[in-house]
Amino acid sequence: MKRFLSILFSVVLGMSLFADGFAQRSFGRSGSFGGGRSSFGGGRSSFGGGSFGGGRSSFGGGSFGGSTRSYSRPSAPSYTSPRSYSGPRSSSGSFNRSGSFGNSGRVNSTSANPSRNYGGRSSYRDYGAPVYYGGTPYYGGGGFWSGYAIGALSHRPWYAYTPFYPGFYVTPPVYQNGAYYGGGFSFGRFIVGILIIGLIVWGISRLFRGGGGGVRYTNYR
């Protein structure tokens, strides 16, 4: 029984330590869309459809010395310019949408598990973007324990104070400068939980202890 409980706690602790690994999934968005091309369309165009001056022209018909000279203007070089614009756009782009990506990123959450935040940097695990609890930001770093930590701020049920609930092993975050910081897994509470569960197991074993076991015989003179 004691061995089974110790193995169970080792598994739970191991999962908590590696919980970050499960959360580090990125949707692969690196800030740019479409492979980093900065221009749209990507084609080239020429203006005027031709060279300046068109073809050849000759002047006069007379002669200065009797020979006919023809002059031809060199064709003006053609100009190509990319279709990229500097400065503010006037059109809505290829996707018929204007503005920055995504929504504002502000999500009000009062539950123990915060909503996913896709604002700004839209990654699942975001150390920078806060989770909002009742309008107040919470910088918990995400992960398995941060959800229980912010849940500790609200009214907790009775079983949250027993070592059989994961939220027992977290400390609530601290309110400072208008935001919540810290909180999370507490090794002190973990040790207390082990002691309480060990005491319960020992007490149950005492109840089932028969008369033949656990008795030692001594002699005194």
Q: Which stretch binds another protein (CB under 8 A): 10-18, 112-120, 184-192, 208-216?
A: 208-216
Residue 185: how many other CB atoms lie within 10 Å: 20
Contacts of 73 (CB under 8 A, 6+ apart): 53, 56, 57
CB of 152 to another protein, least distance (A): 34
CB of 3 to another protein, least distance (A): 20
Comparing CB distances to another protein, the nearer of 87 and 212 is 212
Q: If binding is defined by CB under 8 A, does position 95 make contact with another protein? A: no
Q: How far apart are CA 194 and CA 196, in angstroms?
A: 5
Interface with another protein: number of residues (CB under 8 A): 11
Q: How far apart are CA 214 and CA 207, in angstroms?
A: 12
Q: Which stretch binds another protein (CB under 8 A): 2-10, 34-42, 154-162, 205-213?
A: 205-213
Q: If binding is defined by CB under 8 A, does position 93 make contact with another protein? A: no
Q: If binding is defined by CB under 8 A, does position 211 make contact with another protein? A: yes
Asked if 169 contacts 185 with a C-beta cutoff of 8 angstroms, the reply is yes
Comparing CB distances to another protein, the nearer of 155 and 221 is 221
CB of 132 to another protein, least distance (A): 50
Q: If binding is defined by CB under 8 A, does position 207 make contact with another protein? A: no
Q: Which stretch binds another protein (CB under 8 A): 25-33, 157-165, 187-195, 212-220?
A: 212-220
Q: How far apart are CA 178 and CA 199, in angstroms?
A: 41
Q: How far apart are CA 10 and CA 4, in angstroms?
A: 10
Find, among 217, 220, 156, 169, the residue nearest to 195 by Cα.
169
Binding mask 151-170 for another protein (x = CB under 8 A): --------------------
Q: How far apart are CA 26 and CA 215, in angstroms?
A: 61
Asked if 84 contacts 44 with a C-beta cutoff of 8 angstroms, the reply is no
Site for another protein, rule CB under 8 A: 210-212, 214-221
